[in-house]
Amino acid sequence: MAREDSLKVKTGKWRHSSLARVGMIVLIFLPGGAALFFASRNWLVPQDVLKLGAVIIMSLFLPLLAYSFFFFREERRIAELDRIFNKLDLKDEATYIRMFREVRSGPSFCLSVGLAWTVSLAGLIILFLGEKVGIDEMAPFEIGDQRFPIEGSRLMFGMAFLGAYLWGLQFTFRRYMVNDLLPGVFYSLGYRMVMAATLALLIYNAFASLAGAEADGSGPSGLHATVWPALAFLIGAFPQRGLQWLMARIPIFSSKPDPSVRPLSLDMIEGIGSYDQMRLEELGIESCHDLANADFIPMVLKTSYSARELTDWILQAKLFVVCGEAVKDLRQQGVRNILALADMKKDEILDLARQTSASESSLKRAQEYAARDPEIARLRAVAGKLGQYTVLPENADTAAE
């Protein structure tokens, strides 16, 4: 009964119930029901049946991945969370346990996966079977002397959606492998697919209008007609970059950065890649300043990153906030984070200032920060506790159940 209040006990009942399994299985067999509906229609030719099969197979990935994670892999993550609760004496914190129980509950998974599955299935049908469901026959809107959407818009919408969907499969599989697949991932993926497809549709129609498309709504021809599908796919795979590129070239949206404010991008932190940036942005951490002032314990609980890894990132961010771009030179001298300056003598600080672009004053401020900041001391203490390996007794799982 020692682990009576553990997260595993709080979530295990629903996880192993028949209702949970039935709910997940329904999500998997819904595409099969859609297939029977389409197959019952007489207007499906063999080529359309192949397209429908491709739609069903591709759309099955998300519910199957969620089912596999929820019932077979998330136990590892819950065991790790229980260990963290015990190490930090949080097992009596009902708020923490309730928060993680609700976030990782079965209903949350069913709703999020159902939404992502519905969006993905709709987008794939528009791309592969749009003409069969009558989308091409929909009359465009009259906007002045132009029509919206113009000819070819369905293909652009579908290709951008396909790019976002394939990117999403890669992203969700990565989260699956590191035991960090939360319901919010599926909500984010559904939003990303819709946003990417809509963005590509608007850019395509805006370009055609500026290029002087025909009043009858016909789209670009020639080389543009063959290049645009590829561009739409890339916009779907990287919608934020596409939006930034578009806004940078429209004077009304572009603005000059304040020269007194230096950029604090997360890619300056050694060890943080593009996927890690996206994961941290889900927590509201979008810059080194945010990371340097982030609360360490919620980050450990909400992500799959190890305490040692998060500690290193935060200490690097604290150094970057003080020294800025000079951290590149400091790394070459063996100074990776702010703790490396804590025990340096005055002569060593002066030599470091001569050998790098960091000023003597910034190095001294960083050294005082490392020595006096109580947050750094707490960070090191918590990371030390979590770095200790715990061997659970053989009957721990039996007692928990």
Digit-coded pLDDT (tens) for 193-248:
998 999 888 888 877 776 665 444 455 555 456 788 888 898 888 876 656 655 55
Digit-coded pLDDT (tens) for 348-366:
899 998 999 888 898 999 8
Cβ atoms of 337 and 312 within 8 Å: the answer is yes
Residue 240, helix vs strand vs coil: helix
pLDDT at 247: 59
79: its two tokens:
């065991």
**E runs forming strands in 103-180:** 141-143, 146-148
Compute the distance between CA of residue 401 and CA of residue 399 in angstroms, rounded to an integer.
Answer: 5
Once rounded to an integer, what is the mean pLDDT over residues 60-70? Answer: 86
Cβ atoms of 150 and 218 within 8 Å: the answer is yes
Residue 207, helix vs strand vs coil: helix
40: its two tokens:
């019952």
Q: Is 290 exposed, middle or buried (0-12, 13-18, 19+ CB in 10 A)?
A: middle
DSSP state, residue 401: -
Once rounded to an integer, what is the mean pLDDT over residues 111-134? Answer: 85
Buried residues in 364-396 as b, exposed as e (16+ CB within 10 A): bebbebbeeeeebeebeebbeebeeeeeeeeeb
pLDDT at 395: 41
Q: Is 45 exposed, middle or buried (0-12, 13-18, 19+ CB in 10 A)?
A: exposed
Residue 143, helix vs strand vs coil: strand
The reported pTM is 0.76
Digit-coded pLDDT (tens) for 249-282:
555 555 555 544 556 788 889 999 888 988 998 8
Residue extents of the structural domains in the chain? 1-138, 142-255, 266-386
